[in-house]
């Protein structure tokens, strides 16, 4: 009797467990799934709707004379709808296979979409469990279909070089990688406006006319898109973007060429391995806020053509030349963002809030007007690293001998 009772209890317990186990009603067979790796979002002004492009990886092969050859490694699907969710559903309904958005590495939006405002789209993506918030966000003036359908010169699909912006940021002084999370956090902060790096297509002077060949393109990141809240309001040019990257504070910035001084007394030279350490200091005088930016620049010399010996005196001169150039770029960046675009992309509002919370709570609704008039002082200190290494140019060494 006890044995029968024990078996009965076990059966009842197992049956109970079965009622709480998850089923497989939403299972997807791996060979019936397509994986978009890049998502492009555009705004159709004529029809007032969202248009999207999803670049999918393809593993299809073709057989020729008994040998298997890989066909085009990717394809681009198009969808449209009143909202981003409708557009994504439209793409899903086009094929017989399921779509899994878990491999999205980059989201590219057009400047039209960005000017319209993107917070509704980011709200959806932030709630959509298949899309990771560490995916990169990029803006472009190019045709999205052309961008995503083109073949990059090195990689197999466009998603790889687009998502490679993090690596490129270590090779260029004009790139600041931004993720979906970065944009959302800046938008929600209340005291900082978001930025988006711009990607453009490098036009090939010897573009092929053979339509049977895939169009190969290069990508260029040279500008930074500036937003007010969630809307794109303008772009920084090349030099202003360099200034912005230095203000944000980044390590191992690739290189910057320092032009000769106005008097022509100093030679042009190139610096590299740049480490920018900013300190943004909010101040308050008679209930009027101001900002002091202290910028420490550490660098090494990549190339120098001077015929002068690089001694302590020359090192001081080089440092002053770097300081002058950086200060000029930084001040131009502030002028563009503050006076022309009225966008607080460096988080001065956040700094004011943390140091003077009472002032911020009283004036945060009027911060846009206050920000445009706030006084900003820039102090730059340049430091040449590795002065024990060989710094003299070959020209100087040759002339000396």
- Per the model's pLDDT, the better-predicted residue between 177 and 3 turns out to be 177
pLDDT at 55 over 50: yes
d(CA 261, CA 197): 31
Determine which helix (DSSP H) or strand (DSSP E) holds 185, and give its type and residue range. Answer: helix 180-189
How crowded is the C-beta side of 63, counted as CA atoms within 13 Å? 2
Determine which helix (DSSP H) or strand (DSSP E) holds 351, and give its type and residue range. Answer: helix 348-355
Q: Angle between the 180-189 and 119-127 helix axes, to the nearest 10 degrees?
A: 120
Q: How confident is the model at residue 301 (pLDDT cuts 50, 70, 90)?
A: confident
In tens, the pLDDT along 189-243 reads: 989 999 999 988 886 655 555 555 556 677 788 789 999 999 999 999 988 998 9
- Per the model's pLDDT, the better-predicted residue between 195 and 34 turns out to be 195
d(CA 304, CA 392): 8
Q: What is the DSSP string of 35-93?
A: -EEEEEEEEETTTTEEEEEEEEE---EEEETTEEEE--SEEEEEEEESSHHHHHHHHHT
- Per the model's pLDDT, the better-predicted residue between 94 and 375 turns out to be 375
Nearest by Cα to 74 from 168, 155, 135:
155
- Per the model's pLDDT, the better-predicted residue between 292 and 23 turns out to be 292
In tens, the pLDDT along 67-124 reads: 444 445 678 899 999 999 999 999 888 765 678 888 888 999 999 999 999 999 999 9
The pLDDT value given to residue 172 = 55
Q: How confident is the model at residue 400 (pLDDT cuts 50, 70, 90)?
A: low
In tens, the pLDDT along 235-246 reads: 999 889 989 999
pLDDT at 25 over 50: yes
On average, the pLDDT of the chain sits at 82
The pLDDT value given to residue 68 = 46
Give, in order, the Cα–Cα distances in Å from 211 to each of 69, 74, 144, 175, 203: 20, 17, 19, 33, 17
Q: Look up tokens 């002091």; give the residue.
A: 292
DSSP three-state, residue 398: helix
């Amino acid at each position: 009797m006890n044995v029968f009772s024990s078996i009965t209890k076990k059966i009842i317990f197992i049956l109970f467990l079965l009622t709480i186990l998850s089923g497989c009603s939403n299972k997807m067979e791996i060979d019936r799934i397509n994986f978009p790796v890049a998502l492009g979002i555009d705004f159709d002004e004529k029809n007032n709707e969202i248009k999207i492009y999803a670049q999918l990886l393809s593993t299809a092969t073709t057989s020729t004379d008994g040998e298997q050859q890989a066909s085009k490694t990717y394809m681009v699907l198009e969808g449209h709808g009143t909202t981003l969710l409708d557009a994504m559903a439209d793409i899903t309904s086009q094929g017989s296979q399921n779509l899994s958005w878990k491999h999205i590495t980059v989201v590219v939006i057009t400047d039209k979409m960005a000017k319209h405002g993107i917070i509704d789209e980011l709200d959806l993506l932030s709630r959509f469990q298949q899309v990771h918030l560490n995916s990169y966000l990029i803006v472009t003036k190019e045709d999205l279909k052309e961008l995503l359908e083109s073949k990059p010169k090195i990689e197999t699909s466009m998603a790889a070089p687009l998502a490679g912006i993090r690596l490129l940021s270590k090779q260029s002084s004009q790139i600041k990688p931004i993720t979906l999370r970065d944009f959302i956090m800046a938008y929600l902060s209340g005291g900082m406006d978001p930025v988006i790096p711009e990607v453009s297509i490098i036009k090939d002077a010897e573009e092929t006319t053979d339509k049977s060949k895939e169009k190969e393109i290069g990508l260029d990141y040279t500008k930074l898109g500036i937003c007010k809240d969630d809307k794109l309001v303008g772009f920084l040019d090349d030099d202003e973007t360099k200034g912005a990257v230095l203000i944000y504070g980044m390590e191992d910035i690739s290189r910057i060429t320092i032009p000769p001084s106005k008097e022509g007394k100093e030679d042009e030279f190139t610096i590299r391995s740049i480490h920018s350490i900013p300190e943004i200091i909010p101040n308050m005088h008679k209930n009027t806020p101001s900002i002091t930016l202290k910028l420490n620049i550490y660098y090494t010399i990549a190339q120098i053509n001077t015929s002068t010996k690089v001694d302590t005196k020359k090192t001081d001169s080089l440092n002053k030349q770097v300081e002058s150039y950086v200060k000029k770029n930084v001040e131009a960046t502030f002028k563009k963002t503050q006076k022309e675009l009225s966008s607080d992309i460096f988080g001065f509002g956040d700094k004011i809030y943390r140091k003077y919370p009472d002032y911020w709570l009283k004036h945060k609704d009027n911060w846009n007007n206050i920000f445009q008039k706030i006084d900003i002082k820039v102090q730059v200190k340049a430091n040449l690293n590795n002065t024990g290494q060989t710094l003299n140019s070959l020209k100087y060494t040759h002339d000396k001998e």
